[in-house]
Amino acid sequence: MKWAIIGTWKMSYQGILKASQQLEQNLSASDAVLTAIHDVEENPNFHSVGYSGLPNKEGIITCDAGYMDGTTLQVGAVGALEHVIHAIDVAKKCSETRFNNVLVGQGANIFAQKNGFANENLMSEETYQYYLKQLQNPKPLAAYNGHDTVGVLACDQKKHLIAATSTSGLFMKEPGRIGDSPLVGCGFYADDTIGCACATGVGEEIMRGCLSYDVIIRMKQGQDPQTAASQCVAEFSKRMIKQKGYVDAISLICMNQEGEIGVGTNVKFAFTYANDQHMPTIYIAEPKENGTSVRAITDSDIDID
C-alpha cells in the first residue's frame, strides 16, 4: 500500500476525498490530515466541530484539538479555545515549539491571536437556536447527544504517520471542560515505529483508560490493528460495566505504517477509509461479543452520523 487515510464519522468523507488526492500526489500526511479536518471544521452542517459547533452552558463555543507527528513525536494541543474555526491549526502551531505545546483557555486564545489566527464567530443561527431551545426546555442530555470528534490518521508515501483531532466537545458542558481530544495518549497518538490512533465518544470515559495509547501498546506487542482496537474497547467497556454498571460511548480508530487499520467501538460507529487502491468509502463498525465487526454502509444506516 502506498498511502492510507481514515477519519471518524460520516462527516469526514468529503475531507478524506480531498486529502486522498493529496496523498496520491505525494503530499505529506500532515497536509492530508489538515485538509480533511479543515473541511469538517468549516462545514456549517456539522454541529460538533469548528464553525457551527455546539456551545457550553454559557452559550460559548469552545474547541479542543490535538496533533501528533509520528516521526518526531512532537505533540501540540489546545483546549477550550474560543473564536478560531481551525482549532487544529493552532494545535499544530503549538507542536512546532520546544515548550508550551499544550495550551488551554485564555492562554490558547492569546496564543492564537498572537500567531495571526483570525478572530471569528463560530456560532451559526442554527446552533444558536438549538442552544436557546435547550435553555428554554432543559432536559438531561443523553451521553451521546450533540458531540462527535473528527479524528483523522494518515500514512503518506514516505510512511510518515500523523494523528489529529478537532471537536467542540460535549454540548452544554461546564465552561472550562475539556475532553479526551486534546489529551495526548487519550484522544490521539502517533509513532511511526508502531502506528497511530485516535478516539471519539465520551471523553471522560476515554481518558480513564488512555485508550489511544493503549491501542498503540497492543500494536507494539504484536497485535494487528483490528485486534488491538477491537479488544481494547471491548475489554475496557467490560471493566467499566463491572465497576460502575454502565459504559459511555467509545470509538477508536488506528493504523500502522502499512496503512492497515483497526476499529473498535461499543456503539454503532461510522468511519471513512481510503488508500491508493480504494476510493474513500464509509463503513459501519458495531460492537459484537468481545470485539467489533465492520461492514460497508447501507441505505438503512441513516440513523448514524
Q: Which residues bind ligand ASP (CB under 6 A)?
A: 147-149, 167, 169-170, 179-181, 200-203
**Residue (23 or 88) nearer to ligand ASP, CB:** 88
Catalytic pick among 35, 62, 127, 149: 149
Q: Taking the CA of residue 94 as centre, how many other CA atoms within 13 Å lie in the half-sphere pointing to its CB?
A: 30
**Residue (47 or 147) nearer to ligand ASP, CB:** 147
Strand order across the 102-104 sheet: 102-104, 75-81, 63-69, 161-167, 150-155, 4-8, 269-275, 278-288, 291-296
**Residue (2 or 144) nearer to ligand ASP, CB:** 144
- Min. distance of Cβ 98 from ligand ASP in angstroms? 28
Examine the residue annotation and report whether 149 is marked as an active-site residue of this protein.
yes
Cell output for 34: 489538515
- Min. distance of Cβ 177 from ligand ASP in angstroms? 8
**Residue (1 or 143) nearer to ligand ASP, CB:** 143
**Residue (109 or 149) nearer to ligand ASP, CB:** 149
- Min. distance of Cβ 116 from ligand ASP in angstroms? 27
**Cα-based torsion angle of the residue sequence 233, 40, 175, 206 in order, rounded to the nearest 10 degrees:** 10
Cα–Cα distance, 216 to 221 (Å, whole number):
9
**Residue (216 or 253) nearer to ligand ASP, CB:** 253
First to last CA, the chain: 29
**Residue (1 or 60) nearer to ligand ASP, CB:** 60
- Min. distance of Cβ 258 from ligand ASP in angstroms? 27
- Min. distance of Cβ 29 from ligand ASP in angstroms? 21
- Min. distance of Cβ 26 from ligand ASP in angstroms? 31
- Min. distance of Cβ 285 from ligand ASP in angstroms? 15
Which residues are the active-site residues?
149
